Structure 1
């Protein structure tokens, strides 16, 4: 069912907690699928993307039980199973790229697809790397660089090279490399999205896999296989990618909120948004004793230059903060952001411009001329969850009502977003 959300000028007050991390949840599910035994995942994010990961786990032969607050995964006693049906990854690019790489460790054919956005997202460089290791890896459509794909392994150890633009390719091959016989070396030219690469390394290391890698520049990774993953017993930390929305909402309105149950371990690169918003003049205070932060609005933000290469998912909400700020904000390192669920640079430029924003972009940077009054308008999410939430936040400091089409897509990463925000006074309406 299609949903329309209505956002208008409101201030926020109160306390809230955001759900668990999507990035951590998907890694936990797929590592549990490759491990030998029973795994328990507490506080998983029950979003559409993470449920796509559980479908992949079932396709690979695992018994998955989903209960509120706890997921259990019993892997197949005979190891990963060749799926007897197509793996539908839904809208989850992470699940799609990771499961594609893992499929290359099996000795029979695997077919993977997803929704219409996944069927547009590029996969060619990943398939090329898999072919370099001896796999059969092709798309089903002539001259297509996207799903559906057909994979047949097993891959053999060797050296592959990635350009560095898509961390999900690299993480997928890293996860798969532990199952390959011999030493697999992954070389990376100009790695970006580096916190996500470190997250993958940390998950693999914690679950028994030895990795040699360039800890400074992430220019190479080496895994001697086969190695066996240990089962997962974990509690998923809160998601900084989701924290960004109520945090920015508080700073662009006359608000004061406390966000609780934060992950202050440094394991999520998007936590740097606190430093970015403070540099812009935002009043944000972290409390390590209570794992919380306090955000107060009322300060005028100022434009700065922000490198988004390691935090691509933050661009939509940062572009909204930039509209509120005085002066120009320049977002750099945007190349990979154009091939997410949507071209998020183009989409945010188009939709915020409908509300009165002044934005320019090139292949390499996006410039928001801030301080211009935004007004309500009919805008479109383009079925992109982060776009929908960002536009809803923009409506909180606009004159009039922002009407956001296809607003239900927030369930991909932040189920209950509108209800949770309304609990602190956002006043969102849906129909």
Structure 2
């Protein structure tokens, strides 16, 4: 696992272990990208509000423009999407950076375009698996291929004799299922999606997010047995409001737990969301007596936050259900272990896919400064900033990687009292 050269580092400090005030979180990346795609597949004009404006969502918007959809400038107050409900083959390859949702959702959606689409990404994206989705699309009757099982992917879509049922191996990501669900109403007979690997799905809550948004756009998915029935139908929603990002909320919930004073979030509504990471609040409220075992399989993006919080817990915490974290923007299990042991050599170990954090409320760093490698992963950068509440000398490499999902993260941390010094 490599760490791209960092153009800058950010030295963080917090006076008297105290943050205080009100923070605002952006719109959900997961919901913004789903809403943009469903608006593009709707006939007519859709107005979206509350959208996240970030690297990933800008890539989705630009990709949809390449498919012939009119998408206005992405702005949190309003985004207008105009479409005839179809996608046109793009003239050039679509670049998705390291945006997993964009890559996987558009690989399936590209089957609806009558022609060939190439979807490619950066070096990190080219290591992220997509073969199970490719296999499912070929079994349906489309033509999709990748030399490596990762992007770049070439998809040939259009009118074909398409099967009405498909099995998918979603062991690596539920995004494969969401991708199939969202394109399925455009198929003449709809689609029955079945699991090839029956059993518990890591990140299953994101399927609830997908089906809820689809319902608001007029298509109801029925869960039946080990699968889902998606009817043929037309998407339409003249307006849609994107929820705040509860993955982003975890940083401020944990900051409040670590701070000597109180931090609140001005625009979240706990208990009114299907976003899986909202479940992390129950664990955070238990600090400094977090459970001995935390299952991260159903709140995957919250695990980095919880792991750094666990560094200051009264007792050790073992994080389990982490296998899918190894194929995120980086290998997050290893990135978390490395960052924690850079703080203190005895702080963390990895056992298979489990992460054991040997926390202590009296934790001290091994050195006056600790430089955290982010591996260009926004969640690694944001979670390790929390360590600066209790420890001096935390330095974050490549702090701009937060542009992926939370561009003003450092500004919001500054609002509640975190001091940051940028150095070249």
**Number of aligned pairs?**
404
Counterpart for residue 122 of structure 2: 115
Match of 1:349 in 2: 337
Q: Residue 210 in 1 paired to residue 201 in 2? A: no
Aligned to 1:285: none
Contact kept, 8 Å, 2:253 with 2:284, in 1: the verdict is no
Identify the residue that residue 294 of structure 2 maps to in structure 1. 306
3-state SS of 1:44 partner: coil
What is the deviation of 1:332? Answer: 1.1
Q: Deviation of residue 78 (structure 1)?
A: 6.8
How far is the alpha carbon of 1:329 from its aligned partner?
Answer: 0.7
The RMSD of aligned alpha carbons is 1.8
Residue 240 of structure 1 corresponds to 246
Residues 96 and 232 of structure 1, relative CA distance in 2, 3 Å threshold = farther
2:3 maps to what in 1?
Answer: none
Deviation track 1:145-202 (CA, whole Å, cap 9, x = no partner) reads: 2111100124613322233321111100110111112141111222221110001011
For 2:153 and 2:38, the matched residues in 1 are separated by 22
Which residue, out of 48, 52, 59, partners 1:52?
59
Residue 3 of structure 1 and its aligned partner are, at CA, apart by: 2.9
Cα pair distance change 1:335/1:5, threshold 3 Å: same
CA 77–9 in structure 1, closer or farther in 2 if over 3 Å, else same: closer
Residue of 145, 148, 152 corresponding to 2:152: 148
Match of 2:269 among 254, 263, 267: 263
Structure 2 partner of 1:175: 182
Q: Which SS does the other structure have where 1:388 is aligned?
A: helix
Structure 2 residue 377 is matched with structure 1 residue 377: no
Give, in whole Å, the separation in 2 of the partners of 1:51 and 1:346: 29
CA distance in 2, matches of 1:303, 1:5: 32
Match of 2:210 among 174, 177, 200: 200
**2: distance between equivalents of 1:312 and 1:16?**
23
For the pair 1:388 / 2:376, whether they are aligned, the reply is no
CA distance in 2, matches of 1:99, 1:363: 33
Q: Contact (CA 8 Å) 2:252, 2:264: kept in 1 or not?
A: no
Does the Cα contact within 8 Å between 1:33 and 1:60 map onto a contact in 2? no
Runs of 4+ in 1 over 6 A off after TM superposition: none
Q: Given that residues 38 and 72 in structure 1 are in contact (C-alpha distance below 8 angstroms), is that contact kept between their aligned partners in structure 2?
A: no
Contact 2:168/2:194 (8 A) holds in 1:
yes
Structure 2 residue aligned with 1:251: 257
Pair 160,239 (structure 1): closer, same or farther in 2 beyond 3 Å: same
8 Å contact from structure 1 (residues 162, 186) kept in 2? yes
Task: Find out whether 1:72 has 2:79 as its counterpart.
Answer: yes
Match of residue 335 from structure 1: 323
Q: 1:37 Cα shift?
A: 0.9
| DSSP 3-state at the match of 2:150 | coil
Aligned to 1:342, the other structure's residue is in SS state: coil
Query: SS where residue 155 of structure 2 aligns?
Result: strand
CA deviation after TM superposition for structure 1 residue 72, in Å = 3.0
225, 229, 233: which one aligns with 2:235: 229
Cα shift at 1:409: 0.3
Name which of structure 1's ranges 185-194 and 198-207 shifts more when overlaid on structure 2: 185-194
- Report the TM-score, using the length of structure 1 for normalisation: 0.89
- Work out the CA distance in 2 between the residues paired with 1:362 and 1:161: 32
The structure richer in strand per residue is 1
Q: Is the 8 A contact 1:82 1:110 kept in 2?
A: yes
Cα distance between partner residues in 2 of 1:303 and 1:26: 34
Q: In the TM superposition, what is the alpha-carbon distance from 1:331 to its structure 2 partner?
A: 1.0
From the superposition, tell whether residues 212 and 327 of structure 1 become closer, same or farther in structure 2 (CA, over 3 Å).
Answer: same
| Aligned with residue 409 of structure 1, among 369, 385, 401 | 401
TM-score by length of 2: 0.91
Per-residue CA distance 1:359-417 (angstroms, 9 max, x = gap)? 1223342111111323531121100000001111112211x311211111001010111
Hey, what's the Cα distance between the residues in 2 that align with 1:341 and 1:330?
22
**Aligned to 2:176, what secondary structure does the other structure show?**
helix
> Residues 14-93 of structure 1 correspond to what in structure 2 (within 5 A)?
14-66=21-73, 68-77=75-84, 79-93=86-100
Distance 1:303 1:222 in 2: 37
Question: Contact 1:134/1:153 (CA < 8 Å) preserved in 2?
Answer: no
1:228-256 superposed Cα distances (whole Å, 9 cap, x missing partner)? 11135122121110011122122123221
Q: Secondary structure at the match of 2:112?
A: coil
Supply the distance in 2 between the matched residues of 1:302 and 1:236 (Cα, whole angstroms).
31
Contact 1:177 1:223 in 2 (8 A): yes
